Amino acid sequence: MASSSSSGLTFKLHPLVIVNISDHYTRVKSQMNSPLTSTSSSATVNNNSNGVEHHQQAHRVYGCVIGVQRGRTVEIFNSFELLYDPSTHSLDRSFLEKKQELYKKVFPHFYILGWYSTGSDAEESDMHIHKALMDINESPLYVLLNPAINHAQKDLPVTIYESELHIIDGIPQLIFVRSSYTIETVEAERISVDHVAHLKPSDGGSAATQCKPVCFFSLFLGFSVKSVAAHLTGIHSAIKMLNSRIRVLHHSLVGMQKGDLPCENSLLRQVSSLLRRLPAIESEKFQDDFLMEYNDTLLITYLAMFTNCSSTMNELVDKFNTAYDRHGRRGGRTAFI
């Protein structure tokens, strides 16, 4: 496997794909770790010397990634699951074609860009699946998610591979090469990922202790926080620089007013022109617009408060009626509300 790709493509990965793969892996692993499955798996391990390897292989999940390609930019929007036949080491082709047809009806602009799986690294058997999808996409990509949690790792445990034809020992062979990618999000995805990351099970424990793949969401949030922190740091530096320059300009104007510095008419004209560009916050129009926006905000706040009070009152009335109906059936009375 080569170190990096030379195709020049730019990959943008949406967090929905990571959430789907993680959820797929979590469900399969939970089913494999159920009491009935664990008993049958133990029997298989005792009867087969390669049982442990087969058990680890059974935890792998497979699916397709879909999206769009605009020029040299490939954007991965979504994914769906596929059925894998371990006996033939191939995917269920009829199931794939059916899912593709269904997705085409909902997302007509999305195309199958490649496939995904789970594991620590690309394996030789993965190339068979990769070649089988080349009739759908002549150059499919391979998204690999590593389910092993490493808290010291700062990057997302997701790798995107491309296939390139290399000459090895005089024989042309397809090999996997790593490709760089960036995370592309929209507002709805950021809200959903933040919601999933803060979910907690009913027993009060943390979500990460119940389901390790949820940590991928935390890693993604950490990645997003770093981006926001870098953006805010840049804004802070710009405001700090602007403040220092305003101080220098103010010091120069004070010096000219006191006579400590020679008067420069060109500088004064530039300062006067700059001040005229500032909004006149003392004008009557500004006060009217400000008061209108302020009153609208207060009205929305009051409306939300009244709605909340009405909802609470309705819940209280429903509970009272429910309790009084039970009491009335025992004592022969009826509800009066």
Report pLDDT for 223: 53
Size (the chain), residues: 337
pLDDT in tens, 81-127: 888 877 777 788 888 888 888 888 888 889 899 999 988 888 888 88
Q: pLDDT value at position 88? A: 74
pLDDT band (50, 70, 90) for residue 8: confident
Retrieve residue 122's tokens.
């690309």
| pLDDT computed for residue 9 by the predictor | 85
pLDDT tens string 176-217: 888 888 888 877 777 666 666 665 555 555 444 444 444 555
Q: What is the Cα–Cα distance from 168 to 130, expressed in whole angstroms?
A: 19
Q: Does 251 score more than 50 pLDDT?
A: yes
> Residue 225's pLDDT is what?
55
pLDDT for 31 equals 82
CA 72 to chain centre: 22
Instruction: Give, in order, the Cα–Cα distances in Å from 23 to each of 76, 122, 141, 145, 329.
Output: 17, 20, 21, 12, 48
12 forms beta bridges with: 75, 182
- Classify the C-alpha dihedral 149-153-158-160 as positive or negative: negative
Supply the pLDDT for residue 42: 47
- Residue 51 pLDDT exceeds 50: no
pLDDT of residue 58: 52
Mean of all residue pLDDT scores within the chain: 77
Q: What is the pTM of this model?
A: 0.54
CA triple 212-214-215, angle to 5 deg: 75
Q: What is the 3-state secondary structure (H, E, C) of 136-152?
A: CCCCCEEEEECCCCCCC
**Confidence band, pLDDT 50/70/90 cuts, at residue 45:** very low
Indicate whether 37 pLDDT > 60: no
Per-residue pLDDT of 287-313, as tens digits, reads: 888 889 899 988 988 988 898 899 889
Tell which wins on pLDDT, 51 or 180.
Answer: 180
Express each pLDDT in 255-291 by its tens digit: 888 888 888 888 888 888 888 877 666 677 778 888 8
> Using 50, 70 and 90 to split pLDDT, how confident is the model at 66?
very high
Does 158 score more than 80 pLDDT?
yes
CA distance linking residue 217 with residue 18, whole number of Å: 8
Share of the chain above pLDDT 70, in %: 74
Q: Which residue has the higher pLDDT, 263 or 7?
A: 263
Q: How many helices (H) and strands (E) does the chain have?
A: 10, 10
So what's the pLDDT on residue 121? 85
